[in-house]
Structure formats: structure tokens, C-alpha cells
A and B are shown apart, each in its own frame.
Chain A
């Protein structure tokens, strides 16, 4: 291979993390709050009561602030693809083109038409058409997210494509296989449902603040009831889709599953660690106990991963060193096949340039035998195939604990709302005020599990991150990293300031 400048790769990585995580502060609020606005307005149209209209307009204003500040922050990720990740963007251009183009068209028509009606059309369109527009914004925003998540799902589970060694591009063979891959479906449903939770807790946080201050009490109570029902149902659905994601991971990304479960040695009837502290400094194959402390659910992992309490779940060491009894090939063997594929790719290209067709055909035939292991050829050691276990494990467990907490929290809000004693429960309202920030944190942790857990791959098994980047020099990336940091932080401060001012004014100000 050519020289890989790891400093450039790591800065490009850091920049992508920064932009993606900042972008993701805005997106889940948009996805969740858009549906809540639609629910609130539906209540207004159904009851005809003006207080529902005021309430809807208030939440819609906060939705608009978040949308305006967050809009186009994702485009920067596309800039980065072209500059920092040129190998990657060249290779996946054919696959990503269709979903991203559909996303762009969707976003344009949505924003130009229904979004305008939603904000400008209160007095100028019929109630029914305005409500329809609000629903269209909610559905459209979430469908817009679908295409991005389909593209991301493909990177985690590359199906419906064929690698063309002539031009080094993954070419789409079956659009429907890409769209309906189990990973894409699990990713979309889990991401959107968890974003609904973020949106619901955004409403609960602000409404709880109003109740604690004794301001806009009626609006706050109404908002809490709708948001709690939505938050509870979404939390339960997120738990279900999370389980489906784990099930999909067991077959498509077993290394990721093993990392977020802290499973180093596989077994039949594997236990699920409900609570555990990883042994500090634990390395793959060092024989140390992975956990300094653990509380496990017997056979829980086998049930979750394979839907069978006695099934074998491979651990990190099985996947790295192989397990003949379970038919798992070692990474060392895959690396050999991968290196052969790379050599054949080079031979094929060389023969093509020399006009030696028989040699080119022979090299292509050899390449096709090993092409599924192409990515492994770039690894330096078998252990390089293991993602950062502690980061993945703790992020996953934090997300799960918080997700469970949100189910309990929304249940309590509904119970005390039903009893009409919510205003007296200061401790619960205090918890509610913090809940949105916890939900955002859980959402970011989910992203860490998905993305850190699939390291070292940019495209699962086919292209490691270090080969996806452009060798443009770390200094260039450092400069744009600093600019992004300033830009995004300014935007975040602007959002917080405008949002806080609007919350302080309350529903009278809209």
C-alpha cells in the first residue's frame, strides 16, 4: 500500500465526529417536535379551542428556531466527503447518489411548500389544509432522514451492490435490497423512534420548567400529557427496535455486538451483562477476566442475539482468532485472502494498461474469488479488526439505562397528570427539566455505538477508514476543524440564546 498518513486520517475522523455530533444535536429535535406540533394542531382542529392553537404556535416557533439553526449543517458532511474522504466518496458514489438525491428533492419541496404554509398560512389557508401541511412537514422530515439512514445502513451492511474492479466503484445492482436491508430498516426505525423521545422530552423539559415557575400552567399541563403519551409509546418502540438492531447486528456485524456487550469469549447460552465494569487495560487474547464486576442475566444474550437461549454467540476472540467448531474464519486467514485480492486488483490493472487481455482475465478471476475479503487485506494485525471496546460498551449501556429511565419518567408524568397532582411533585418536575439533556446525550451515545462499534470499517469488511481518506496533510484538516468548531459553537450559542428568549416570553409572544 502507499504511505498512510495516520495524522491526517485521525484529524479527518475528528472533524467528521465534530460535525456529525453537532449536526445531530439539531436533527432529533426536528424529527420528534415536528410530530408533536402535528398532534397539538390536530387537537386544535378537533376541539376548535383557541388554547390548543396558541400552544401549537408556541411549540412550532421553537421547532422553527431549531430547524433554522440546524438546517444545512449536514451539508458540511458532504463537503468533507469530497475533500477528506475522496477514495470513499468515489467508491460509494453510485450507491449514495440515488438516496441522497431523493433526500435533496424531498427536502427542497417540503421546505419550499409545506413549511411555508405551516408558518405563514395560519390566517390564510383553511384549518384542514394547514393541519395537512403540518403533518406533511413531520412525515417529510422523517422520510428525509430515511434516505440518509439507508445510506448509512448500507455502509454497515453492504448489500444490493457489486464491486467493479475496473473503476473501483461499488455499483448498485438492486435498489430495493439497499432500501429494505434489515440494517437500514432497524436503523431508520430505531433512530426515528429515539428522536421522537428526544422531541417529547424537549416539550416535557420546558413545560416542567413552566410548572416549577407557576407560569403558563394550563398550556404546560396540556403539552405534558400529549408529550408523555408520545414519549412513552416512542420509548417502548425504541426498546423494541433497539432489540431488532441487536438481532440484525448478530448476523451482519457480530464484532460490533460482541464489543457493545463486552463479550470477549463466545459461548452457547451466553449471558447478558446488565451491569458491569470492564477490567482496566483488558486486551484481546490476554486471558484476563473482561469484567472487574458484573451482574448478568443468564442466557439473555443468546436469546437477544439469536432468539434461542442455547444458541452460540461469538465473542471478540472467536471472531479475531477464529472458531473452527462454530465455522468462524480467523481474521488472519481473511487478511491473507484480502492481500491476495489487492495483489490481483493491481495485477489486473497493470495487465489492462499493458493490453495483456489473457493476464487481465486471469487476474480478474482470481480477484473475484477473494473480493469479499478485500478490506481485511489493509489491516496490519488481526487485532486491528476490533473496535474500541470500552467506548462502545459504555456508550451502549448508558443509552440503554437512559432509555429505560425515559419509560419510567413518562409513566410517572402520565400517572401524576391523571391524578392531577403533577404540580406538587417538585422532584419529578426537576427530573423532567433535566430529561431533554439526558435524551440528547442518549441519542449521541447511540450514534457512538453505531459508528465507533463498526470500526475499523468505513464500509463493513470492504474498506477500512484509513484507506477511505485523502492524503491531503493534517495541517489542512486542522485549519478547517478549527473553523468548524467556531462556526458550530456560534450556531449552538445562537440557538440557545434565541430559544431561551422565546421560552422566557412564552406562548404570548408568538
Chain B
């Protein structure tokens, strides 16, 4: 299929999908409030909670999987030699 023809088919499809979402968002009533709640919630969850309160303990404190495994085994066995 010639490239020009392919582009003219893909572009209207893309535009159709874009307009579908755009119109949908524009026509929202209660949805506007809900989206605001979703954004605030995600912001609190990822920008505050995840960042300041929920670091991944093993990812933050150890740099390799071998170190992480050793730490967990040390926790499980209480064996200081394995550190």
C-alpha cells in the first residue's frame, strides 16, 4: 500500500479516537469532579506517600539482588555471619 494512502487512513482513525475522547471529556458532568478526585488521590499517593513514606526497603538499602537475598536469609536465620 502506498505510504500516502496508508497515512491518510491512519490519520483519520487517530483523529476519530482523539475527538472521541476530547468530546467525552468535554461533555462530562459528575465526571469532572471525579477526575479531580482521581488526580488529587494519585498525586497524594505517588508524590507524597510513595516518595516520603513508602520507599522500597530492599531496593533502597541494597544495590544487588545477591545483597538483598543475603539480607533476607540473614533475617530468616538470624545468622550474622551471612551479612
Q: A residues within 8 Å of B by Cβ?
A: 1-2, 61, 64-65, 68-69, 71-72, 75-76, 79-80, 82-83, 86-87, 89-91, 116, 119-121, 124, 166-169, 342-343, 345-346, 349-350, 353, 467, 470-472, 476, 479-480, 483, 487, 491, 494, 498, 502, 509
- Chain B contacts with A in 1-57, Cβ cutoff 8 A: 20-21, 23-25, 27, 29-31, 33-35, 37-38, 41-42, 44-45, 48-50, 53-57
CB atoms of B53 and A76 under 8 A apart: no
CB-nearest residue of chain B relative to A112? B21
Provide the bound-state CA to CA distance between A82 and B49, in Å: 13
Chain B residue contacts of A346, Cβ below 8 A? 73, 77-79, 81-82
7 residue pairs bridging A and B, Cβ less than 8 Å apart? A64-B34, A76-B49, A79-B54, A82-B57, A90-B69, A121-B20, A168-B72
Contact of B30 among A65, A91, A166, A169 (CB under 8 A): A65
CB–CB A498/B34 < 8 A? yes
Q: Which residues of A are found within 8 Å of B44, using beta-carbon distances?
A: 487
A contact residues around B56 at 8 Å (CB): 82-83, 86
* A124 & B23 in contact (Cβ 8 Å cutoff): yes
Known pairs A68-B38, A491-B37; list 12 more (Cβ under 8 Å).
A65-B34, A79-B54, A82-B57, A83-B53, A116-B20, A119-B24, A120-B21, A167-B69, A168-B69, A483-B48, A483-B49, A487-B49
Q: How far is the CA of A467 from the CA of B60 in the complex (A)?
A: 20
Q: Which of A82, A169, A472 has the most CB of B within 10 A?
A: A82
A467 nearest CB neighbor, chain B only: B76
When the two chains form their complex, are residues A345 and B76 in contact, meaning their CB atoms are under 8 A apart?
yes
- A434, chain B: closest CB distance, angstroms: 26
- CB B56 to nearest CB in A, in angstroms, measures 4
How far does the alpha carbon of A1 sit from the alpha carbon of B73 in the complex, in Å? 11
Do A83 and B77 have beta carbons less than 8 Å apart? no
By secondary structure, the A interface counts as helix
Q: Which of B30, B41, B59 contacts A72 (CB 8 A)?
A: B41
> What 3 A-B pairs come out closest when comparing CB atoms?
A120-B24, A346-B77, A82-B56
- Residues of A near B34 (CB, < 8 A) are 64-65, 68-69, 498
Nearest to A501 among chain B residues (CB) is B30
The closest CB in chain B to the CB of A479 belongs to B53
How many residues belonging to B are interface residues under a CB distance threshold of 8 Å? 43
| Chain A residues, CB < 8 A from B27 | 120
**Residues of the A chain whose Cβ atoms lie less than 8 Å from the Cβ of B45:** 72, 75-76, 79
Q: A483–B45 Cα gap in the complex (Å)?
A: 10
B residues in contact with A353, CB < 8 Å: 81-82
Assembled-state Cα–Cα distance A76/B54 (Å) = 9
How many whole Å from A144's CB to the nearest CB in chain B? 17
Check A68–B23 contact: CB distance below 8 A. Answer: no
User: How close is B55's CB to chain A, nearest CB, in angstroms?
Assistant: 6
Residues of A near B76 (CB, < 8 A) are: 1, 87, 168, 342, 345, 467
A62 to chain B minimum Cβ distance, whole angstroms, is 10
The minimal Cβ–Cβ distance linking A354 to chain B, given in whole angstroms, is: 9
Given contacts A65-B30, A68-B37, A502-B30, contact A83 B23 (CB under 8 A): no
Pairwise interchain contact B78-A1, C-beta atoms closer than 8 A: yes
- Return chain A residues, CB-CB under 8 Å to B77: 1, 342-343, 345-346, 349
- The residue in chain B whose Cβ has the minimal distance to the Cβ of A470 is B57
Name the A residues within 8 Å of B41 (CB-CB): 72, 487, 491
Out of B25, B59, B75, B82, name the residue touching A87 (CB < 8 Å): B75
Question: How far is A487 from B54 in the complex, measured between Cα atoms in Å?
Answer: 15
B-chain residues with CB within 8 Å of residue A467 when the two chains form the complex: 75-76
Which residue of the partner chain, among A71, A76, A116, contacts B24 with CB atoms under 8 Å? A116
CB distance from A363 to the nearest CB of B (A): 11
Is A120 a contact of B74 with CB atoms below 8 Å? no
User: For the complex, what is the distance from the CA of A82 to the CA of B68, rounded to whole Å?
Assistant: 12
CB proximity of B14 to chain A, nearest CB, Å: 15
Give Cα A239–Cα B15 distance, bound, in whole angstroms.
50
Bound Cα distance A435, B57 (Å): 43
Given contacts A1-B78, A2-B78, contact A116 B21 (CB under 8 A): yes
Let me know if A498 and B75 touch, CB within 8 A. Answer: no
Q: Which residues of B contact A350 (CB under 8 A)?
A: 79, 81-82
B38 and A71 within 8 A (CB): yes
Q: How far is the CB of A75 from chain B (nearest CB, A)?
A: 7
Give chain B residues whose Cβ lies under 8 Å from the Cβ of A2. 74-75, 78
Contacts of A472 in B (CB 8 A): 57
Chain A residues with CB below 8 A from B57, complex form = 82-83, 86, 470, 472
